[in-house]
Amino acid sequence: MQYPCSSCKKECLSEFVGTFLLVFLGASSVIVSALIPEITTAEALAFIAFTFGSTVSLVIFFLGKYSGAVINPAITLGATFAKILRWKYLIPYLFFQIMGGIVAGITLKFVFSSYPVASSLELGSTELAKGVNPILGLILETIGTFILTISTLLSSTRIKNAKFKALLVGSTLSLLILLISPLTGASFNPARSVGTSVVSGYLENLYIYILAPVFGALIAGFVFRSLREDGKRNLVCLC
């Protein structure tokens, strides 16, 4: 198979590794929280939110210098539409982000194969809570992705310090998970949902976790691009 981007191997490897870590560690926190005896729902939610947020922060801090650490197909589309990410990276990034998510799902299945709770949780797949219909789920995931994408675009163009970039995006994700996860699982990332759902075979409402993040990120990209001043196009970006 021909390498999708022969001139950006370092960037693609960074996106693959970053997405793998996000999906593997994030979904692992969902499974592990279910294995901890006497943990409360609030404590489990806080643990999951912290794991996802801190993982994103660490990935941005350590891998951001190589690829921008987008690690999210939806935000990749939003950043490209906003002219923050170069078009030549679009397809390679999407490919390696999705592959990173799927490999993470395979790894999760291998690591937690002896734990029945992992199967009952579909390897930590995102799913709608009881009483949440698909339309509401679509709206919530769109709004969450919009906010996360705006946070990512602002950090990439307005903040030069890698630590502050990581802190902004990571804390935004953690907060969104705390607010929305009890209703939808708070994906905001097609690679995160596809990776666990495809490997576990849990495909119910998967379309929501693909379409909603794409909608939210594209809307964010359009808004950001519209409001961005023409004279500031040469600021530090995910290039």
pLDDT digits (tens, 9 = 90+) for 108-119: 999 999 999 999
- Would residue 4 count as lying in a domain? no
Domain of 180: which CATH number? 1.20.1080.10
Domain that holds residue 20: 9-230
- Would residue 26 count as lying in a domain? yes
Q: How confident is the model at residue 10 (pLDDT cuts 50, 70, 90)?
A: very high
- Would residue 60 count as lying in a domain? yes
136-195: pLDDT as tens digits = 999 999 999 999 999 999 999 999 999 999 999 999 999 999 999 999 999 999 999 999
Rounded (5°) CA angle 39-45-51: 105
- Would residue 3 count as lying in a domain? no
- Would residue 98 count as lying in a domain? yes
pLDDT of residue 236: 42
Concatenate the DSSP letters of all residues of the chain into one string.
---TTTT-HHHHHHHHHHHHHHHHHHHHHHHHHHHSTT--HHHHHHHHHHHHHHHHHHHHHHHHHHH-----HHHHHHHHHTTSS-GGGHHHHHHHHHHHHHHHHHHHHHHTTT-HHHHHTGGG---PPTT--HHHHHHHHHHHHHHHHHHHHHHHHH---HHHHHHHHHHHHHHHHHHHHHHH-----HHHHHHHHHHHT--TTHHHHHHHHHHHHHHHHHHHHHHS-GGGTTSS---
- Would residue 210 count as lying in a domain? yes
Asked if pLDDT for residue 228 goes beyond 90, the answer is: no
- Would residue 215 count as lying in a domain? yes
- Would residue 183 count as lying in a domain? yes
pTM of the model: 0.93
The total domain count for the chain is: 1
36-87: pLDDT as tens digits = 999 999 999 999 999 999 999 999 999 999 999 999 999 999 999 999 999 9
